[in-house]
Structure 1
Amino acid sequence: MTSATSTPSSFRLCALSLDPPHASKTDSAQQREQGVVISDLLHNNIFVPVEHGGGPYQLVLALMDRYLRLSVKTEKGAHVLSHHLSLTSFRRLFRDYSLVCESFAAAAARLTPDRLEAIDMGPRAIHDEGSELLRERLKSKVEIDQQTGRRLFTLIHLLVSQTLPAGVD
């Protein structure tokens, strides 16, 4: 999925693609969530490749074994960076995030909004932890803000959950 952004800075993502596209492997709810995450990300993000003069940038994410490949180009297609990020340190967070999201979805059908808000703290805390870990692991290549980190963590979680067979993490 690729889309334009409304963020005025030159240090931002203007396009994001998944390589290869995983739409055929997802159910409609996952496709919807993925679309929302990408749209939100592209409309509000801070993305600053280290020692680069400015974009905006195109980002391609690809899963390769236990690694996430990030390929960054300028809006005009000039190569900026390629990076392979090990996902090993994210395994526990992905597993925990999946569990709390499933629990939250199950509870949504039977709890009042005030009770749902109270249990929403679990997914939020894991989401923040994932964002912080992602920011820390990428800081030598690209600086991102917390919200960009949260959205990228969600997108990476969706990619991992769509790609790996059940029970593999």
Structure 2
Amino acid sequence: MSEHRLTSIELDAASLPASSAEIEHERRVAIFDIVEKNAFQPAGAESGPYALKMSSQDGRLVFDIAGPGFTKAHGLSMSPLNKVIKDYIDICDSYYEVLRGTDVGKIEAIDMGRRGLHNEGAELLKSRLEGKIDIDHETARRLFTLVTALYRR
């Protein structure tokens, strides 16, 4: 396993809004999955592993990274991510609502849209981090899940 990886992730409690059981479960699963398998290499870092603290500060997404002999904070404007995040949150809310019903066809259709928006958000996040942090697609997907957790109002 590469040394350039995350071994811990913390979401700033002050940045987190109240959430449902489904959203809280998604956060825990995303953090667990990232820590289990990820590719995360901050520019200028010689070796990992790294600890990441994510927060939302003044409309910016902040990544505080610490590793052996390395600390760095990256702030990204949320503006380019706002639309895909809002659309993703809306479709997730619809998905959770439909799950309570029994219309399998509707569940599958909404889930396909949800996965498509999730991939779009992950690719946008990955491109916004380009030159700052090198991540793979699966790490970007899971980080996008955590970004939406910080964004929810």
For normalisation by structure 2, the TM-score amounts to 0.89
Any unmatched runs of 5+ in structure 2?
none
Pair 1:110–1:28, CA change in 2 (3 A)? closer
Would you say the 8 A contact 2:15–2:55 is kept in 1? no
Give the superposition deviation at 1:84: 0.6
Would you say the 8 A contact 1:63–1:159 is kept in 2? yes
Aligned with 1:46 (options 39, 59, 82): 39
* Aligned residues: CA RMSD: 1.9
Matches within 5 A, 1:1-169: 8-20=1-13, 25-74=18-67, 76=68, 78-113=69-104, 115-161=106-152, 164=153
Would you say the 8 A contact 2:61–2:78 is kept in 1? yes
Q: Partners of 1:108 and 1:25 in 2: how far apart?
A: 21
Question: For each residue in 1:47-76, what CA deviation from the matched residue of structure 2 results, as whole angstroms up to 9, or x when unmatched?
Answer: 0112322101111111102101111111x5
- Considering Cα pairs closer than 8 Å and 6+ residues apart, tell me whether 1 or 2 has the greater RCO: 2
Any unmatched runs of 5+ in structure 1?
1-7, 165-169
Give the superposition deviation at 1:31: 2.2
For normalisation by structure 1, the TM-score amounts to 0.81
Give the superposition deviation at 1:145: 0.6
Would you say the 8 A contact 1:23–1:31 is kept in 2? no
Give SS of 2:118's match. helix
Give SS of 1:157's match. helix
Would you say the 8 A contact 1:14–1:57 is kept in 2? yes
Would you say the 8 A contact 1:15–1:57 is kept in 2? yes
Percent identity between the two aligned chains: 33
Pair 1:24–1:150, CA change in 2 (3 A)? closer
Would you say the 8 A contact 2:98–2:106 is kept in 1? no
Q: Which amino acid aligns with 2:50?
A: Y
Give SS of 1:120's match. helix
Q: Which amino acid aligns with 2:12?
A: D
